[in-house]
Amino acid sequence: MEFTIGFIGSGNMAAAMIGGLIKAKTVAPIQLLISDLDTGKLAALKSEYGLMTTEDNEEVAKKANILFLAVKPHQYEAVISQIKAVVDEQTIVVSIAAGQSIAAIEKAFGKKIKLVRSMPNTPALVGAGMSALMKNEHISDDEMNQVISVFKSFGSCEVVSESLIDSVIAVSGSSPAYVYLFIESMADAAVWQGMPREQAYRFAAQAVLGAAKMVLETEAHPGSLKDAVCSPGGTTIAAVIELEKSGMRASVIKAMEACVNQSRSMQKKGG
């Protein structure tokens, strides 16, 4: 890729994506330009990756061929107001914020822009992200393929309808937090039974990683894979029964419903 990728904002999600891009060697560090008012974050990124940084959002907006808006949703209006005059009509703008619809962002720019709305997640940092992409009418197929190639450098991605954004946020954008909570809970139980904590984290995390790979690579139904582990009268089915008694499925569904409702609320506030 012989172009500049710009990030306005360098928070956790942006840092994960930047790290993923560099580790995958999709771009050289000198092809990345990052702006932020937090000079400490910029210094840390520059020290770790050797990329270009600035405190000037307009500089990034002028130079980037693909421009990521990686600030908090409530900062979008102010940032767009600051940069909209200098964003070239050929620049591909990529949003990563929850609650900011394609229509709302287009309205904020007040002019024709090439826009992709995305919802990535933090496992991008280890090349295992999952992102959903949605485009406006001004993005060509070739341009969308450029954006897809960027996102695939740090994981998987799929193009979806914007109407699915709330479900996407619940099932992949926010879900790493649920999984971390599950891993931590399993590790706590192992520690309770005498296993050293760091070892417990490794066992629990690898089990989750392996189970996820089984679902993706075998394409078998998760229920069938679960059944294959549950021997009659065995240890696994005993554990599964306890999880069912505790309402594990219902708890996960309720948690995701809360996530969806919060996303919808943010969407309304964002326009």
CB 73 within 8 Å of CB 266: yes
pLDDT band (50, 70, 90) for residue 24 = confident
Are 60 and 13 members of one domain? yes
Are 16 and 148 members of one domain? yes
Residue 150, burial from CB neighbour count under 10 angstroms (0-12, 13-18, 19+):
buried
**Token code pair at residue 203:** 């066992």
Are 196 and 249 members of one domain? yes
Are 37 and 139 members of one domain? yes
- What residues contact 115, with CB distance under 8 A and at least 6 apart? 92, 93, 94, 95, 102, 105, 106, 135, 136, 138, 139
Q: What is the pLDDT of residue 263?
A: 87
Are 150 and 196 members of one domain? no
CB 4 within 8 Å of CB 60: no
Q: What is the pLDDT of residue 182?
A: 97
The mean predicted confidence, pLDDT, of the chain is 94
Q: What is the pLDDT of residue 10?
A: 93
Residue 246 structural domain: 173-268
- Give pLDDT tens digits for 6-20: 999 998 889 988 988
CATH number of the domain encompassing residue 48:
3.40.50.720
Q: What is the pLDDT of residue 148?
A: 96
Are 77 and 31 members of one domain? yes
Q: What is the pLDDT of residue 271?
A: 53
Residue 212 has pLDDT above 70, yes or no: yes
The number of folded domains in the chain is 2
pTM exceeding 0.95: no
- Give pLDDT tens digits for 151-173: 999 899 999 999 999 999 999 99
Length of the chain: 271
Are 95 and 113 members of one domain? yes
| CA separation for the pair 249, 239 (Å, rounded) | 14
Are 243 and 186 members of one domain? yes
Pick from 165, 200, 221: which residue ends a domain? 165
Tell how strand 52-54 and strand 32-35 pair up.
Answer: parallel
Q: What is the pLDDT of residue 98?
A: 82
Residue 227 has pLDDT above 80, yes or no: yes
| CA separation for the pair 144, 146 (Å, rounded) | 5
Residue 133 has pLDDT above 80, yes or no: yes
Are 56 and 128 members of one domain? yes
Are 57 and 101 members of one domain? yes
Give the residue carrying structure tokens 């394609």: 102
Mean pLDDT of 91-97: 95
CB 54 within 8 Å of CB 62: no
Q: What is the pLDDT of residue 270?
A: 57
Q: What is the pLDDT of residue 2?
A: 61
Are 18 and 118 members of one domain? yes
- What residues contact 90, with CB distance under 8 A and at least 6 apart? 65, 114
Pick from 125, 144, 165: which residue ends a domain? 165
Pick from 113, 145, 165: which residue ends a domain? 165
Are 210 and 161 members of one domain? no
Q: Which of 175, 172, 112 is nearest to 139 (CA)?
A: 112
CATH number of the domain encompassing residue 234:
1.10.3730.10
